[in-house]
A and B are shown apart, each in its own frame.
Chain A
Amino acid sequence: MNAYPLRVNGVEHDVVDAWDGENLLYVLRERLGLPAAKAACEQGECGSCSVMVDGRLVCACLVLASSAIDADIVTPEGIQPSAHGELTPVQDAFVSEGAVQCGFCTPGLVMAVHDLLNREPAPSDLAVREALSGNLCRCTGYGRVLAAVNRAAHAAAAAR
């Protein structure tokens, strides 16, 4: 096919003149100008390209983009409460706890934490570790990230 549609963050896009074997990560970054999902291992090992496809957290690098033509795709750009630079409570917790060093893994981690807290608003420490087991950070280790998840969960509980 010469063009196929993709619905990303609620917006319909046409992917034009692309090879049908391209993975979703490549299409998001190189064809649709959505660079928040990061390209690193391209074999599902690192989690830095985590996105939601039909409500499921997956590695965009392992999704054949041309097979996702009727799916609801949400990227890290799409979780913002508005277009005005506001942060989600999870992103805010990452900032407050200093859970970022180089920042490359952060969008994927944020997606994984959103997915976790949507499923399990008050996760145990072990549940958090399991939920983040597919997201690699090569700078800092994970202590601050775990603290950020804890902070986000508590903030959400306090707001309820």
Chain B
Amino acid sequence: MAVLLPTTIDETLAALAATPAALVLAGGTDVMVDVNEGRRRPEHVVCLRRVETLRARSVENGTLVLGAATTYTELLEPEIAAVAPAITDAARTVGSPQIRNAGTIGGNLATASPAGDTLPVLLALGASVEIDGPAGRRRIALQDFLVGPKRSALEPGDLMIAVRIPIRRGPQEYLKVGTRNAMVIAVASLALVVDLDARTVGIGLGSVGPTAFLAAAAAEWLTPRLVWADDRVSLPQAADAATFAGLVAAAAQPIDDHRSTARYRTHAIEVMASRALRRAVQFGAPHRAAT
């Protein structure tokens, strides 16, 4: 095994161009489990630990740009929570402090597990992934990046540079079901993001399909039934909440596995959809706007 430790993005791309089959190592929290158990024996490893620019975080014209090697612990910072609170909520549910100190948002995306904790949130926020590689620098919408279970749109020689997240004003909810509050892989998870300016709702689901995915039909059904004000959104017909939750659950395609059953997952998603909506949206007639 040859381990390369580049220090810049250009060096990393050059290393990957020379050995396109190389394993890209970020936080190691997924990859090293496979190496330890002998499931992976990469000949070449390109380690991102020294590439400081991959940990850069900035806000550009209403977009939060997170370097791909941003750790979950870094996602807990108040500056992130202020502009994308659901990302912070999801990051806090990942593993333990030890895992959050090592694992990265780029690793979560590249692993592309249907249970990846940040994926439903990033989908609901409308995030995109910035990639560089043999095909050049490009951006891919996250729903197109997640092409299958543990399969992403990354091609050999590609490097994920950053995750681009539109900053949205309005309530954001993240809910996750598991057997503990820590060290748990989601049995089911859901993110709901309201954008008071665009007057849209995004709903991302995790662990209830081959990939994390958007419950787009449920969001489209809900949006015209909402009454929008500058600082809040209401659902006049409270009974619509149950229909909405049913539509979200209908979008789920869960399976039975060692963590849970399809039946329970569908139930959990329906409850979470209802709960997230109740937290984000005022039920009943909208209050008169304050004058």
Contact of B99 among A23, A59, A115, A130 (CB under 8 A): A59
Q: Which B residues, 239 to 271, have Cβ-Cβ distances below 8 Å to chain A?
A: none
A-B interface pairs (CB < 8 A), number: 93
Contact of A64 among B32, B50, B97, B181 (CB under 8 A): B32
Cα A134 to Cα B101 in complex, Å, equals: 12
Cα A115 to Cα B97 in complex, Å, equals: 10
Given contacts A61-B36, A64-B3, contact A47 B98 (CB under 8 A): yes
Across the interface, do A43 and B183 meet the contact criterion of CB distance under 8 Å? no
B209 CB within 8 Å of chain A:
no
Q: Mark A99-121, 1 if CB is under 8 A from B, else 0.
A: 00000000000001001000000
Cα A59 to Cα B101 in complex, Å, equals: 9
Across the interface, do B183 and A134 meet the contact criterion of CB distance under 8 Å? yes
Cα A117 to Cα B36 in complex, Å, equals: 31
Stretch of B41-49, B123-131, B190-198, B283-291 with 4 or more beta carbons under 8 angstroms from chain A: B41-49
Stretch of A50-58, A77-85, A139-147 with 4 or more beta carbons under 8 angstroms from chain B: A50-58
Across the interface, do B29 and A57 meet the contact criterion of CB distance under 8 Å? no
Across the interface, do B102 and A62 meet the contact criterion of CB distance under 8 Å? yes
Most B CB within 10 A of own CB, among A1, A63, A67, A115:
A67
Contact of A134 among B27, B32, B35, B96 (CB under 8 A): B96
B135 CB within 8 Å of chain A:
no
Contact of A62 among B28, B49, B182 (CB under 8 A): B28
B33 CB within 8 Å of chain A:
yes
Across the interface, do B3 and A66 meet the contact criterion of CB distance under 8 Å? yes
Cβ contacts A to B, 13 pairs, < 8 Å:
A21-B41, A44-B98, A47-B98, A50-B98, A59-B102, A62-B27, A62-B28, A62-B32, A62-B102, A64-B28, A67-B3, A112-B98, A134-B182
